[in-house]
Structure 1
Amino acid sequence: MNALHQYLFDTYRAERLGEPMPPAPGTHDLAVLRRIRDRRLDRRRLERALAGRPARGGGLRAVLLRWTRPGSC
C-alpha cells in the first residue's frame, strides 16, 4: 500500500465517522524541507560562534548578492 492508498482509506474513514479530512500526501513537504534547512543553518551558526568565528549566515547567497549588486566592483 502506498501513501495515496492510505490517504484514500483515511478520507473514507473520516467521512464515515464525521471527522476532519486528513491532509493530502505531500502537503507539508516544503515546510519540512525548510525546517531541516533552517536547523542545519542554525547548527552551523552555533558551531561558528563556539569556534570564535563570525556567525553570519548565507555565505554563498551573500557572495552572489555582493557580486550582482550594482556598483559593488
Structure 2
Amino acid sequence: MSITQQYLLDTHRARSLGAAAPPAPGTHDWRLLRAWREERRFRAVLAGRPVRHGLRAALVRWRRRPT
C-alpha cells in the first residue's frame, strides 16, 4: 500500500468516525528536518564540540574559491 492509499484510507476512516482528518503526507517535513538539525546542534554543544553550519559553510567556501 502506498502512502497516498494509506492517507486516503485514514481520511475515509476519520470522516466516517467524525474525527479530524490526518495531515497530508509531506506536510510537516520541514518541521521534522529543522527539529533534527536542532537536536544535532544541541548534542554537539553537550559533547563540547563546535556547532557546524554545514550547508552555509560549504556555500561560502564555494563562493570564495579561486577561479
Structure 2's unaligned 5+ residue stretches are 61-67
Structure 1's unaligned 5+ residue stretches are 50-54, 65-73
Q: CA deviation at 1:36?
A: 0.6
Identity of aligned residues (%): 46
Q: CA deviation at 1:58?
A: 5.1
Q: CA deviation at 1:47?
A: 1.3
Q: CA deviation at 1:17?
A: 1.3
**Which structure has the bigger radius of gyration?**
1
TM-score (norm 1): 0.64
The match for 1:14 is 14
Q: CA deviation at 1:28?
A: 1.1
TM-score (norm 2): 0.69
CA distance, structure 1, for counterparts of residue 21 and residue 53 of structure 2 = 42
Return structure 1 stretches of 4+ with deviation > 3 angstroms: 57-62
Aligned length: 58
